[in-house]
């Protein structure tokens, strides 16, 4: 009986020793799993800087809003050599001039009046009459102007009688009056004789002038003219459209640069 108790005590003691040795290792906390930190925000690469927009204009073109640059024209001898549908009655100067200017204009346009009254006279005196510029008037009557096409008919009729200068002057100088009343006929009659006026009226009613106006308008569309006045310069095979009113000083500077080209 005592032996059994002793044996049981030994077994119990042995189990206690073993428990003391192994149980602590079982209670040790396992290290937490290594979790990679969430990735931070990925920096967005900055867009490459935009290439600088070239501010270059055609080499000698003054700064102004342009309708668009027309394609260069081949010019074998003179700037006027390749131009088509030029009405000699509405062109001034020498065809052999080194520079040709086509002015797309509307007689009811206030800006066209400004160009005519502030620039054209000096241009005629200093460049056209000197054989440096061949100046061509192009009709470009805008639909927004109720009487501009009528005025263009009267001016063309007067041009065929070599009376374009007094008639243009009358139309532009009295623009505010006839655009209110529509009395283009009376405005023109004030500067022509009775016999001249009868011929002008006959031409206006004859219907032969309308196709000429339409040709000018179609040419303006080819140059992408979208406002009046627009002046198209031709020199040494290049074409430079300029939309808006150009002061005489700016025009003079530009013309001198064109004329100095080799």
pLDDT value for 65: 39
Taking only the tens place, the pLDDT of each residue in 141-178 is 999 999 999 999 999 999 999 999 999 999 999 999 99
Assigned CATH topology for domain 88-260: Glutaredoxin (3.40.30)
Could you report the per-residue pLDDT of 31-56, keeping only the tens digit for each? 443 433 333 333 333 333 333 333 33
Neighbouring CB atoms inside 10 A of 110's CB total: 14
Residue 262 pLDDT: 72
DSSP letters spanning the chain:
-HHHHHHHHHHHHHHHHHHHHHHHHHHSPPPPP--PPPP-PPPPPPPPPPPPPP---STTPPSS--S-PPPP---SS-TTTT--S--GGGEES-TT-SEEEEEEE-TT-HHHHHHIIIIIHHHIIIIITTTSEEEEEEE---TTSTTHHHHHHHHHHHHTTT-HHHHHHHHHHTHHHHHHH--HHHHHHTTS-HHHHHHHHHHHHHSSSHHHHHHHHHHHHHTT--SSSEEEEEETTEEEEEES---HHHHHHHHHHHHH--
Backbone angles phi, psi at 6, to 5 degrees: -65, -40
Note the Cα 113 to chain centre separation in Å: 22
> What local confidence, expressed as pLDDT, does residue 3 receive?
59
pLDDT of residue 83: 78
Q: What is the pLDDT of residue 229?
A: 97
Of 228, 204, 110, nearest to 152 by C-alpha is 204
- Residue 152 and residue 161: Cα distance in Å, rounded? 14
Regions of the chain short of the pLDDT cut 70: 1-82
Given this model, what pLDDT does residue 160 score? Answer: 95
Residue 254 near residue 119 (C-beta atoms within 8 A): no
- Residues 69/241, Cβ–Cβ less than 8 Å: yes
For residue 261, what pLDDT is reported? 86
CB-CB contact of 182 with 107 (8 Å): no
């Amino acid at each position: 009986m005592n032996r059994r108790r002793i044996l049981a005590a030994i077994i119990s003691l042995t189990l206690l020793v073993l428990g003391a040795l192994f149980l602590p290792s079982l209670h040790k906390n396992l290290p937490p799993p290594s979790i990679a930190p969430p990735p931070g925000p990925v920096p967005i690469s900055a867009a490459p800087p935009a290439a600088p927009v070239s501010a270059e204009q055609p080499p000698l073109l003054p700064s102004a809003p342009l309708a668009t640059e027309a394609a260069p024209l081949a010019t074998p001898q003179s700037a006027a050599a390749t131009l088509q549908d030029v009405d000699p009655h509405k062109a001034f100067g020498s065809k052999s001039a080194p520079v040709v200017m086509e002015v797309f204009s509307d007689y009811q346009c206030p800006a066209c009046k400004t160009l005519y009254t502030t620039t054209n006279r000096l241009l005629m005196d200093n460049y056209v009459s000197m054989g440096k510029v061949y100046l061509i008037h192009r009709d470009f009557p805008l639909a927004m102007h109720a009487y501009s096409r009528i005025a263009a008919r009267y001016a063309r009729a007067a041009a065929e009688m070599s009376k374009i200068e007094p008639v243009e002057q009358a139309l532009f100088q009295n623009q505010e009056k006839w655009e209110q009343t529509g009395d283009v006929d009376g405005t023109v009659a004030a500067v022509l004789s009775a016999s001249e006026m009868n011929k002008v009226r006959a031409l206006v009613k004859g219907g032969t002038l309308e196709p000429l106006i339409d040709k000018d308008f179609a040419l303006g569309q080819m140059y992408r003219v979208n406002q009046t006045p627009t002046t198209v310069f031709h020199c040494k095979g290049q074409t430079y459209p300029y939309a808006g009113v150009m002061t005489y000083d700016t025009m003079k500077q530009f013309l001198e640069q064109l004329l100095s080209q080799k």
